[in-house]
Amino acid sequence: LSELEALMERMKRLQEDKEDEEASQEEMATRFEKEKKESLLVISGGICAFPMQFSFDDEIMSTDVSRYVEDPGFGYKDFARRGEDHLPTFRAQDYTWENHGFSLVNRLYSDIGHLLDEKFRMVYNLTYNTMATHEDVDTTTLRRALFNYVHCMYGIRYDDYDYGEVNQLLERSLKVYIKTVTCYPERTTKRMYDSYWRQFKHSEKVHVNLLLMEARMQAELLYALRAITRHLT
């Protein structure tokens, strides 16, 4: 099978498995913890702790970002140290964008919540119902896996989501790309972009970037707004 056909086959199999039997809450929690720990091993810039068939090291170039930012040392850090047994988890059910963050940010800055919510929904729901040359494809499962994997990297868990889907749908090269774009965008190279979903159209891969950026923004807002809520109460 080609990369595309294999991905579509996994999507179909996941849908069939979900209809036949749903995983228990305990199983889903275990799968989240596994995915969360493995995300710490994914190193941006093409180096990865997983065995891989390629490396992007030769294309990584030192980028002088100081001309664009006031504090070039400010950047992403993993939410937990590697090797820790109990990694912190932000349970989305305890503080969601829809039920908590949206109303608070609207109260702090009138109407901004509506604008942000529209932006999140538009990017998340955007689809041509295609996958490369295939038409009439429901890409919901794949879009959800991309969005939730970014939140997983930030320690955010959705109790009603089976993180086994992430491991089934997102291959290792794509996970490296996701972490690089989301956490260290200045390290992204064209070779990394070209290395995953080779049969997909550029518009579809650009949509992946949009999903990653909106997922990161929502994750950051959830942490910030939860902290503000705790301060106010």
Decide if 153 is inside a domain: yes
Decide if 64 is inside a domain: no
In sign, the C-alpha dihedral spanning 176, 164, 100, 224 is negative
Decide if 69 is inside a domain: no
pLDDT of residue 132: 93
pLDDT of residue 61: 44
| Domain region containing 176 | 3-53+77-232
Under the phi-then-psi rule, with left for phi > 0, alpha for psi from -120 to 50, and beta for the rest, what region is 69? beta
As a three-state string, the secondary structure of 27-55 is HHHHHHHHHHHHHHHECHHHCECCCCCCC
Model confidence, pTM: 0.86
Could you report the per-residue pLDDT of 72-112, keeping only the tens digit for each? 677 777 766 666 667 789 999 899 999 999 999 999 998 99
Decide if 43 is inside a domain: yes
Decide if 84 is inside a domain: yes
Q: What is the DSSP string of 127-154?
A: --SEETTEES---HHHHHHHHHHHHHHT
- Residue 134 has φ and ψ, to the nearest 5°, of -90, 135
Question: Domain total for the chain?
Answer: 1
What residues contact residue 83 under an 8 Å CB cut-off, 6+ apart? none
